[in-house]
Structures are given as C-alpha cells and as structure tokens.
Amino acid sequence: MSDQTPPKGTSKPQHHAAIREARLKAALKANMGRRKQQARARKKPENTGDNENKGQ
C-alpha cells in the first residue's frame, strides 16, 4: 500500500510550487505590461508643435 500512495509531505510542496508559479506568472504579466507602456511612451513624440523655434 505504501508503494502506491505518495508520502503526505510531497503533495504540499507541489501545492506551494503551483502557487509560486501562478504568482510569478502574474508578476511577469504586469511587468511586461509596464514595459510595453514605457516603450509606447518613448515612441510618442514629446513635442507635437514646433515650440523650439517659436521665439526666434
């Protein structure tokens, strides 16, 4: 009987591993979202008008 059933301690670390994996997946998704937003902000022209030469 002990050959067929896993020890009680093995199911708990697998559960913790699944929770950790889900947490890391969510953190990665949030990080990628921030990085994409930053990249889009860098692509946008900061100055839409020609204000540099206005006073000259």
In 3-state terms the chain splits into helix, strand, coil percentages (rounded to 5) of 65, 0, 35
Q: What is the pLDDT of residue 37?
A: 96
| Residues 29, 18: Cα–Cα separation, whole Å | 16
Write out pLDDT tens, residues 17-44.
999 999 999 999 999 999 999 999 999 8
Is 70 exceeded by the pLDDT of residue 11?
A: no
Q: What is the pLDDT of residue 18?
A: 94
H or E element that contains 39: helix 8-43
| Residues 14, 7: Cα–Cα separation, whole Å | 12
Q: Which amino acid is it at 2? A: S
Q: Model confidence at 56, in pLDDT bands (50, 70, 90)?
A: low
